[in-house]
Amino acid sequence: MAKRIDVSDLNVYYSAFKAVEGVTMTVEPRSVTAFIGPSGCGKSTFLRTLNRMHEVIPGGRVEGKVMLDDQDLYDSGVDPVAVRRTVGMVFQRPNPFPTMSIYDNVAAGLKLNGVKGKKRLDEVVEKSLQGANLWNEVKDRLSKPGAGLSGGQQQRLCIARAIAVEPQVLLMDEPCSALDPISTLAIEDLIGELKSKYTIVIVTHNMQQAARVSDRTAFFNLAATGKPGKLIEIDDTQRIFNNPGVKATEDYISGRFG
C-alpha cells in the first residue's frame, strides 16, 4: 500500500512570496526520506505540499506536479480531503484533540471515514496503538483525555491517530523536536518499524537522527533570507553524510554552515 512520490519542478508560494523553488525529487515507497537544511529554507513548506496542507494557509499556492504513483495530487479533479486521507501527517508539536479521550483520538480518522461498529473500531484502535508502541502504556486508560499523556506519549498518540486510517504515506515534521532523548529513541524505533508498510518523509534538524533513521536524505538550502529555498541534492543517506556531491551539503553537515 505504500506509494512512490514524484515531484517535478515544484514552486511553492505564500501569496506573492516564493518560499520554495524548482524542487524535483522522487521519494521511494517503503523507505524513509529525511529532509535537512537550515531554518527557513522551506522544508516544512515543501513537506506540506505533499498532502495539500499548504493550501490551508490563506494565500498558499503551488505550481508544478506532485505525482502519487500515477495520480497528480494537484489535478483539478482531485479532492484535497481525499489526498489527506491517503497521505497522513504528524506535526512538530504533539496535537491530540484536547477534548477527546485517547480512544476517540485514535478513532477520529476512522469515524471521518464512516467506519462504524464498536468491534471494528476497538480492533483498529488497539492495532494502531500497538503500531505506535503505545498500547501497553495506555490500555488501562483509553477513556482518559489524550492531553493528559506525556509529550512523547502524545506524539506517539498522534502517530497512532495518523496510521489508524492506513495512509499510503506518512509525513512527519520534526516529530521529535519537543521530546526528550528517550521518547525520541522510541519514535525513531517506531519509524524503523513503520517503514516496512509506509512511505515515510521526515523533516529533522538532528543530523544523527537523519543518519540513524533514513535511507535517503534531501538537503535544502537558501541563498539568502527572502530568497526561495531550493533542493540542493538528494541521495542515499550514506552518501550524503560520507561523500556528498555538493560542497554546501558537506559544510552544513559538518557544522561549517554560514
Quote the CA–CA distance of 10 and 35 in Å, as a whole number.
16
218 contributes a contact to another protein by CB under 8 A = no
Interacting residues with ligand ATP between 200 and 229 (CB under 6 A): 229
Quote the CA–CA distance of 111 and 121 in Å, as a whole number.
9
Here the cell at position 202 is 521526515
44 contributes a contact to Mg ion by CB under 5 A = yes
For every residue of 18-30, DSSP letters joined together read EEEEEEEEEE-TT
Helix or strand or coil: residue 10? strand
In this chain, which stretch among 33-41, 72-80, 159-167, 233-241 interacts with ligand ATP, using CB under 6 A? 33-41
101 contributes a contact to Mg ion by CB under 5 A = no
Q: Tell the smallest beta-carbon distance from residue 151 to Mg ion (Å).
A: 18
Nearer of residues 109 and 244 to another protein, judged by Cβ: 109
In this chain, which stretch among 64-72, 81-89, 224-232, 245-253 interacts with another protein, using CB under 8 A? 81-89
Q: What is the dihedral of CA 187, 199, 247, 257, to 10 degrees?
A: -40
Quote the CA–CA distance of 195 and 173 in Å, as a whole number.
16
41 binds, among ligand ATP, Mg ion, another protein, none (CB under 5 to 8 A by kind): ligand ATP
Across 83-207, the runs of DSSP E, i.e. the strands, are: 87-90, 169-173, 199-203
* x-marked contacts with another protein along 25-64 as a string, rule CB under 8 A: ------------------xxx--x--x-xx-xxx------
Nearer of residues 54 and 195 to another protein, judged by Cβ: 54
